[in-house]
Amino acid sequence: MTELLKNHVAGQWIAGSGAGVTLTDPVTGAALVRVSSAGLDLAQAFSFARDAAGAALRALTYAQRAARLAEIVKLLQAKRDDYYAIATSNSGTTRNDSAVDIDGGMFTLSYYAKLGASLGDVHALRDGDSVALGKDQSFSVQHVLTPTRGVALFINAFNFPSWGLWEKAAPALLSGVPVIVKPATATAWLTQRMVADVVDAGILPPGALSVICGSSAGLLDQIQAFDVVSFTGSAETAATLREHPAFVQCGARLNVEADSLNSAILCADAMPDTPAFDLFIKEVVREMTVKSGQKCTAIRRGFVPEAALEAVLDALKAKLAKISVGNPRNEAVRMGSLVSREQYENVLAGIAALREEAVLAYDGSAAPLIDADPAIAACVAPHLFVVNDPDSATLLHDVEVFGPVASIAPYRVGANGNGLPEAHAVALARRGHGSLVASIYSNDDAHLGRLALELADSHGRVHAISPSVQQSQTGHGNVMPMSLHGGPGRAGGGEELGGLRALGFYHRRCAVQAPGAAIDTLMQTTHLPTV
């Protein structure tokens, strides 16, 4: 029987009871490890983290906690090859795709380690300058931020077992808030191994970083008023979470990143044979195929001028035909598998749904898989659709297929009240009811700035690309720690990262109204960050 991974709670390694759930290789079907959270004393786990670990973390200054993050980065880098091997076995990713998750997590940790070092040896942060409350200036108010005295619970998705952990844990730990992570069961191995390595190295106070593998049953019942919960997953599950008494009655904080039908817009000037056109084609193909399209930020809808539709489809099909699919251990493979056969069935169902109103322009499944049995492997080849009437379409704007699938639709070029010829494309992008990211491609930098503002109200991030930044741009789907990650509406309404903005979720803001001398003392023991 395969190894049963242990959970780390209340500063101890504890195996869940029962046979647990077996994690498998999504390419070969081989059993890897088992996970179980049955029988854990969750009340003790949360209490220990909240009280013992929380007090120990808050006793450290921001700079001291930042130094611990830097130590974690060094540790993870030393064990990088181990993590790549787990990712290949458990997630079915190529080495390049594993880097997006593993190296991306380390980069985010490193960024917050450097950012935290600049906050200094203080235990609280000032929020803005003091303001006099009376005419004589003797009585003032100073807003301060102090770490919440609770636990940060992360309920994570299956697609980023490394980055999904560290992009949340870095600002939480830097803030002085202990972390309990519940990774998605299908790919929990990598998260568990990383936590184990950090815990065993003794870098953090006992209980500051815990991991629970297996079922999430009972976790929300432990949440109290000053705890915070961050969820990444489906909008349907998020809706259920929002109804829990922890949030409705106790007022605990909940951050949600949910479904997102992200868009890419080819601007009216970016016609074939221009540099911006080529950048659009390259980015759509990359976003369809990196991690087999299993990214919450991947391009799902591409809007192009009517006159460029056929040229766009021809260029995309030519590039997609070069994508080899199969076993990521074979160097000839450019795209690996989905994370499980369950996800494989979900993607096939999504493809079938889109075919009800869209035309399949490219189906990569005609090519045989490399070193993989199609009856076992969770491999799906790229599928490209075209929707000729996006105004009448509904599934285009409502169905997110979490795999290597995208749809292209034409828009009418014509100026709106702001003089933007992409007004129709903007309206179509907004049909996604709130998205994490939209990218826009033009040969005119100034035009990109005007168009970005038109999209800002319905997107958490706008990625504007012209030939002037083709070598330095970070990619439509890459989430950088300096930038906001999240989005309104269907995308969950949450916010993560964005530099120091991420720390706000883990702090409580208080207005201190006091004599001038008291405010002066307070200012000497806090730091005023530039947000």
C-beta of residue 350 within 8 angstroms of C-beta of residue 399: yes
C-beta of residue 262 within 8 angstroms of C-beta of residue 438: yes
The answer to whether residue 96 scores a pLDDT higher than 50 is: yes
- Class of 263-480 in CATH: alpha beta
CB-facing half-sphere around the CA of 322: CA atoms within 13 A: 7
Q: What is the mean pLDDT of residues 265-280?
A: 97
Q: What is the DSSP string of 80-132?
A: HHHHHHHHHHHH---HHHHHHHHHHHHHHHHHHHHHHHTT-S-S-EE-S--EE
The answer to whether residue 242 scores a pLDDT higher than 90 is: yes
The answer to whether residue 525 scores a pLDDT higher than 80 is: no
Give the span between the Cα atoms of 174 and 69, in whole angstroms.
8
- Band (526; pLDDT cuts 50, 70, 90): confident
Give the span between the Cα atoms of 43 and 267, in whole angstroms.
54
- The neighbour count for residue 166, using CB atoms within 10 Å, is 29
287 is catalytic: no
465 forms beta bridges with: 441
Q: What is the DSSP string of 45-74?
A: HHHHIIIIIHHHHHHS-HHHHHHHHHHHHH
- Structure-token pair, residue 14: 């504890």
Residues 6 or more apart whose CB falls under 8 angstroms from that of 378 comprise 26, 27, 92, 337, 338, 339, 340, 341, 343, 344
Give the span between the Cα atoms of 399 and 99, in whole angstroms.
28
283 is catalytic: no
Percentage helix, strand, coil for the chain under 3-state DSSP, each rounded to 5: 40, 20, 35
- Class of 42-258+495-527 in CATH: alpha beta
Work out the angle at residue 192's Cα, subtended by the Cα atoms of residues 187 and 197, and round it to the nearest 5 degrees. Answer: 140
Give the span between the Cα atoms of 111 and 498, in whole angstroms.
11
Q: What's phi and psi for 320, nearest 5 deg? A: -65, -30
What percent of the chain is modeled with pLDDT above 90?
93
CA 461 to chain centre: 13
At 32, which amino acid appears?
L
- Structure-token pair, residue 525: 């023991």
pLDDT tens digits, one per residue of 101-155 = 999 999 999 999 999 999 999 999 999 889 999 888 899 999 999 999 999 999 9
Report the candidate in 368, 367, 281 with the shortest Cα–Cα distance to residue 319: 281
The answer to whether residue 48 scores a pLDDT higher than 60 is: yes
Give the span between the Cα atoms of 253 and 238, in whole angstroms.
13
Select which of 296, 357, 400, 422 is catalytic.
296
pLDDT tens digits, one per residue of 439-492 = 999 999 999 999 999 999 999 999 999 999 999 999 999 999 999 999 999 999
- Kind plus residue range of the DSSP H or E element containing 521: helix 516-524
The pTM for the full model equals 0.96
For residue 488, the model assigns a pLDDT of 97
pLDDT tens digits, one per residue of 10-22 = 999 999 999 999 9
pLDDT tens digits, one per residue of 55-90 = 999 999 999 999 999 999 999 999 999 999 999 999
Q: What is the DSSP string of 297-358?
A: TSEEEEEEEGGGHHHHHHHHHHHHTT--BB-TTSTT-SB---S-HHHHHHHHHHHHHHTTTS
Q: What is the mean pLDDT of residues 209-223?
A: 95
Select which of 167, 257, 422, 454 is catalytic.
257
Q: What's phi and psi for 152, nearest 5 deg? A: -100, 115
Q: What is the CA radius of gyration of the chain?
A: 24
For residue 418, the model assigns a pLDDT of 67
Instruction: For the chain, give every domain's residue range.
Output: 42-258+495-527, 263-480
The answer to whether residue 531 scores a pLDDT higher than 50 is: no
The larger pLDDT score, comparing residue 235 to residue 349, is at 349
